[in-house]
Amino acid sequence: MERIRLGVLGCGGIAQIAHLPAAGKASNVEVVAVCDVSAAQAEAVAARFQVPQHYTVAAEMYEKAGLDAVVNCTGETLHRETTLEALAYGLPVLLEKPMAPTVADCEAILAAAEEQGLPVQLAFMKRHDPGLRFAHAFWTEQGGAPLLVSSWYLDTRFHAHYAYTLAGPRISTPEQRRVPSGRERWEEAFIGHSVHHADLLLWFGGPVRRVCATGGEVNGQVAVAATLEFASGARGTHQFITAQPADWQEGLMLQASRAVVNVEIPFPYRQLVSRVSAYDATANLYHRLGNQVADWYQQQLERFAQALLEGTPVTPAARDGLEAQRLILALCEAVRRGGWVEVE
């Protein structure tokens, strides 16, 4: 099978926990180089994952490694400059979420991708979960007029323990580059996690007209409760909390004129398919999916590579990343204002 040659930019946690292990299993990709500003980090990560080349300067990797595409695992504050550089070298990009700190930054990435005629795929890996893909297909084909599109992301205090247990210890060196976003703690946590749900809510519900939200720092945790008004007329909600004392809880509740869909989304590194219960009111029949194994990150990489090999569009694409960022930033603004905010 034909493979694309990948370079991984940024050798931090998400590269080690998700993308590099997934690439080792993917059938149509080969990681041939990694790059990090920390030479020790790049060398250690390359050794652990048996990557033949390692660099400290992205331009050098692009010029010497013979790449077909880049997986950008740098921090959000570096996404604009690093993605524009990769595109300037003629390389498609699989870009970690969030797309970039501001709408203007996201628009700059989208404009560059369109100008260069190169794909930028956002790493919203939940879209590659077979359970969520089944739910979306059922919702689209059987749902009818949407009524309620709601989601929740209730993180657990066991998050770090799960990540360590499931993915092993991470390599970390003091020279790694981290550029602060300047956001408040609650906003940083909310955007970093719930941008996944901004994407899911748009994927299932379509464009959002306006939002209202309350939350922030609550008794030492971050909690946000939001209401959404979709362009279709449907309504929705989203709930987020950083570290509840119970186990991980994440999911979707979807109500439409001809269907009801409920999704339980597992902790991502467990590599399980979401549990789905989908009721078809026309046929008076339930469809259920669950108890299956899948690596969403592996399927994300394989679909990215397949699109490049076949010359077909990637998904979710740069415009999806832009719209998700636009929505999550509107929700943050609604928290600050304490009222309704139009989603521009």
Domains of the chain by start residue, with CATH: 4-125+299-316 (3.40.50.720), 127-294+325-342 (3.30.360.10)
Beta bridge partners of 122: 95
DSSP code of 311?
Answer: T
Give dist(CA 176, CA 45) in Å, integer.
12
Ranges of residues in the chain with a pLDDT under 70 are: 1
Q: Specify the 3-state DSSP secondary structure of 192.
A: helix
Q: What angle do CA 126, 155, 270 make, to 5 degrees?
A: 50
Sign of CA dihedral 44, 46, 47, 52: negative
What confidence score (pLDDT) does residue 191 get? 97
What confidence score (pLDDT) does residue 302 get? 98
What confidence score (pLDDT) does residue 225 get? 98
Take residue 141 and report the two structure tokens written for it: 């084909």
Instruction: Give me the helices (H) in 3-102, please.
Output: 13-14, 20-25, 39-48, 58-64, 79-88
DSSP secondary structure, 142-162, as one string? H--SEEEEEEEEEEETTHHHH
pLDDT digits (tens, 9 = 90+) for 46-96: 999 999 999 999 999 999 999 999 999 999 999 999 999 999 999 999 999
What confidence score (pLDDT) does residue 166 get? 83
Give dist(CA 25, CA 29) in Å, integer.
9
